Copies of this chain bind each other. A is one copy, B any other.
């Protein structure tokens, strides 16, 4: 496994269970081994036993700290000495800031100018230095290139990076170490980093396991990409699951084609209701993107449902002042 050479260019991308185990050894002392929660009332709703891997309780509030920490601590001192850079408006941004602080180097985060104050504040809280770009891809790539040129920082893409994918796979390793006999595991699908890492870990540890991606119907590019055989655009991507607006890259697309059994699409209403169920029954704060992994089970939308289902709740960062619960009638 070799790191990417420059933006979007992956030199040698094979990620194996061995790489994921190496990543786990590298990061385990810094991250939380998050708990696996269960709920009898949610099991009843799903008609299956559900095992929730609570990455919303992870450091920085999401699984992204796994990939970021693995990438940052994979660097040689020479590679790391000028710091690290990352384009992200969300959870990868905070994760990279925290990982860089642990490594003792600066983190240069390129964020769209319209990012929420809360997300900028989170990056600053973990010590990251923010450079703003316009909220479009051309501006982002130009600003990232400029920051890398100016600082000499090492770029870590949110998912088009084998080290990041290996790190994200460590959540599934922990889940399957704790609950070995799962029939399937579900994660959200976006850029595909978590789903890729999870699929390699899960099928490596348990070849008969089914790996499912949950995806918003309104941003179903992974579903369409696996159907058409080429990477499709996200189209409008008007979804409350704001962490799932990214599209696949060649690396994650090739892993998903090989490993993922099904992409299960869920409506905005199903996402909101799943969030509410998770909050009400398990008393945990799960962001909409995390609920997207639970919705296929809670609404029984999986084509070949299993009896024991692992669900990776990806994160818990969201604006608590603006929640999508008001329109849902009480049971």
Which B residues touch A285, using CB under 8 A? 279-280, 283-285
Complex CA distance for A118 and B279, rounded to whole angstroms: 14
Given contacts A118-B330, A283-B56, A285-B279, contact A320 B323 (CB under 8 A): yes
Say whether A316 contacts B283, CB under 8 Å: yes
Min C-beta distance of A239 to chain B, whole Å: 20
- Asked if A330 and B117 make an inter-chain contact with CB atoms under 8 angstroms apart, the answer reads yes
Inter-subunit contact A325/B321 (CB<8 Å)? yes
- Bound CA–CA A323/B285 (angstroms): 13
Whether the pair A328, B323 counts as a contact (CB closer than 8 A) is no
Chain B residues, CB < 8 A from A56: 283
Determine whether the beta carbon of A283 is less than 8 Å from that of B117: no
Judged by a CB distance under 8 angstroms, whether A276 is at the interface is yes
State the oligomeric state as a number of copies: 2
**Mask of A224-254 contacts with B, CB within 8 angstroms, 1/0:** 0000000000000000000000000000000
Residues of B within 8 A of A276 (CB): 320
Against B, the Cβ 8 Å flags (1 = close, 0 = not) of A312-331 are 00001000110101101011
**A111 contacts partner chain B, Cβ-Cβ < 8 Å:** no
Whether A125 sits at the interface, judged by CB under 8 Å, is yes
If A330-B121, A331-B121 touch, whether A61 touches B320 (CB-CB below 8 Å) is no
Residues of B within 8 A of A121 (CB): 330-331
**A124 → B minimal CB distance (Å):** 10
Residue on B with the closest CB to A286?
Answer: B283
> Are A125 and B320 interface neighbours, CB within 8 A?
no
Residue of B nearest to A55 (CB): B283
A57 contacts the other chain (Cβ, under 8 Å)?
yes
CB distance from A288 to the nearest CB of B (A): 14
B316 touches A321 (CB 8 A): no
For A323, list chain B residues within 8 Å (CB).
320, 323
A320 and B330 CA atoms in complex are apart in Å by: 10
Closest chain B residue, CB of each to CB of A282: B57
A-B contacts besides A57-B282, A280-B285, A283-B286, 8 pairs, CB < 8 Å: A56-B283, A118-B331, A283-B284, A283-B285, A285-B285, A320-B325, A321-B325, A323-B323
| Pairs A–B under 8 Å by Cβ, sample size 29 | A35-B35, A41-B125, A56-B283, A57-B282, A57-B283, A57-B284, A61-B283, A117-B330, A118-B330, A118-B331, A121-B330, A121-B331, A276-B320, A279-B285, A279-B320, A280-B285, A280-B320, A283-B284, A283-B285, A283-B286, A283-B316, A284-B284, A284-B285, A285-B285, A321-B325, A321-B326, A321-B328, A321-B330, A323-B323
Q: Which 6 pairs show the lowest CB-CB distances between chains A and B?
A: A283-B316, A283-B285, A56-B283, A321-B325, A320-B325, A117-B330
Q: Footprint of B on A, CB under 8 Å?
A: 35, 41, 56-57, 61, 117-118, 121, 125, 276, 279-280, 282-286, 316, 320-321, 323, 325-326, 328, 330-331
